[in-house]
Amino acid sequence: MSAFLLIVNIAVLLGLIFLLFYMQKKHVSFSKRVFAALGLGIVLGFALQFIYGPENEVLLESIGWYSIVGSGYVKLLQMIVMPLVFISILSAFTKLKLSGNIGKISILILGILVGTTAISAAIGIGTSLGFNLEAVQIEQGEAETARGEALDATYTEIQDQTFPQKVLELLPGNPFLDFTGARPTSTIAVVIFAAILGLAFLGVKRKEPQHAELFAKIVDAFYAVIMRVVTLILRLTPYGVLAIMTKTVASSDLDSILKLGKFVIASYVALLVMFIIHLLLLTLAGLNPVTYVRKVIPVLTFAFTSRTSAGTLPLNLSTQTKKLGVPEGIANFAGSFGLTIGQNGCAGIYPAMLAVMIAPTVGIDPLSPSFIFTLIAVVAISSFGVAGVGGGATFAAILVLSTMNMPIALAGLLISVEPLIDMGRTALNVSGSMTAGVLTGKATNELDTDVYNGDSSQVELEA
């Protein structure tokens, strides 16, 4: 019987995949197909959980098969991240798109990423205080205790690493190792390696133009092939979103979500407020925020469902350059730096909210101005330091709580709703990197406003 039900569940997913494929053949826009996939995934996920329950063996086996589509798609995206980052930045040099502005562009992007993370911290603090969130309100069961012990163990591994050591971790000591993504800072290291090669190319171009011309042609050829691979993978986005969303909803612990609903709601209120800040910054720069929302929704939808900023990078860069008018060089710097530096959701809102929740348990008044200003400063600085220890919400929380002399283990209290909150955090991280790219392009007068203001429906993935 279980084998029959498993076959039925797989057949249902295949039927929905065929429906999305039919929509593509009918030339339904990419954005609409992504939204359709999201909705179908939510409906199917709830249906499976209602029929089987989250721990049912048939459901777990079905999810395993669904992962071939969902997780397989994410792996394909991750496969192309390093080649895409490397060749795109190198191509920006060979096409003379970064020759005189690389220092200014880098400073602007980093300033926007870290600055918006400081704002995110302030929003996280305000939200926690407004919702009166405290760590003592959460029951600490076996899962929470185990998570706390794991965080303590992680902190033990990184506590002796100084800030200079974290900076050194960014440098590509072995670029071939970094191309494998073996280190937490591999992406930034590849960016630096590509920039060094680009600067060397400019030097060769002045002294030996014939060699530089040959090199530029080789880079252009590789760029064309890599971008074609990106296009082929991105066309699978609706199918990946369908499978990932189905798995997420079907395996969610609804009881824990209901018990901790106050913390989930507070988190999403903070994330939404920060997203509105992104839109306000674009408005102040003279850009239409509605246009931005309309064009980035497919990217944020995938980031939300997949919970991976790295996996979202190809779609992020494609949207910045083709729909928002951001130059390739700026888009690649913003997208790559945004993976590990200045993450508004994971390194800004999340650790700030945790610190405010935990403060009363150690006798600290979270309303104290000195505590609030210190916390914002620590979050902003740590958001840069996260790149040296691996990135992500867990490391950001460890860095902030340890600096503020708070118990790190208490950061594991929200483990049961962590996946749900992390979905929104990832989407905000990606929006932060795209906002940095657009604002930097605008500040350097390199943003193509005709593309930004153009009809996004005209910019679809090529067949």
Mean pLDDT by 10 residues, the chain (463 residues): 86 93 88 87 90 83 91 87 85 70 84 93 93 74 58 58 70 86 78 88 89 91 89 88 88 72 90 97 95 92 83 87 89 83 87 89 87 90 60 71 77 71 90 95 91 68 45
- Asked if 453 and 288 count as a contact pair (C-beta separation under 8 A), the reply is yes
Q: Which residue has the tokens 């980052």?
A: 85
Residue 413 has what pLDDT? 66
Counting every residue written for the chain, the total comes to 463
By CB neighbour count within 10 A (0-12 exposed, 13-18 middle, 19+ buried), where does 224 fall? exposed
In the structure encoding, which two tokens stand for residue 97, read together?
């798109």
Residue 225 has what pLDDT? 92
- Of 427, 341, 332, nearest in space to 389 by CA: 341
Distances (CA, A) of 173 to 164, 178, 333, 378, 386: 15, 9, 20, 28, 19
Residue 133 has what pLDDT? 83
In the structure encoding, which two tokens stand for residue 104, read together?
């200014």
Q: How many CA atoms lie within 13 A of 302 on its CB side?
A: 30
**HEC letters along 268-330:** HHHHHHHHHHHHHHHHHCCCCHHHHHHHHHHHHHHHHHHCCHHHHHHHHHHHHHHCCCCCHHH
Q: How many CA atoms lie within 13 A of 114 on its CB side?
A: 18
- The CA distance from 355 to 455, in Å, is 43
- The CA distance from 189 to 183, in Å, is 9
What is the DSSP secondary structure assignment for residue 346, as one 8-state letter? I
Can you list the domains of the chain with their CATH numbers?
2-453 (1.10.3860.10)
Residue 434 has what pLDDT? 96
- Asked if 121 and 348 count as a contact pair (C-beta separation under 8 A), the reply is yes
- The CA distance from 322 to 298, in Å, is 13
Residue 333 has what pLDDT? 84
Residue 458 has what pLDDT? 44
pTM value?
Answer: 0.81
Q: Which residue has the tokens 């992390």?
A: 422
- The CA distance from 136 to 358, in Å, is 8
- The CA distance from 56 to 60, in Å, is 6
Residue 204 has what pLDDT? 92
Residue 462 has what pLDDT? 45
- Asked if 341 and 114 count as a contact pair (C-beta separation under 8 A), the reply is yes
- The CA distance from 276 to 413, in Å, is 28
- Asked if 416 and 402 count as a contact pair (C-beta separation under 8 A), the reply is no
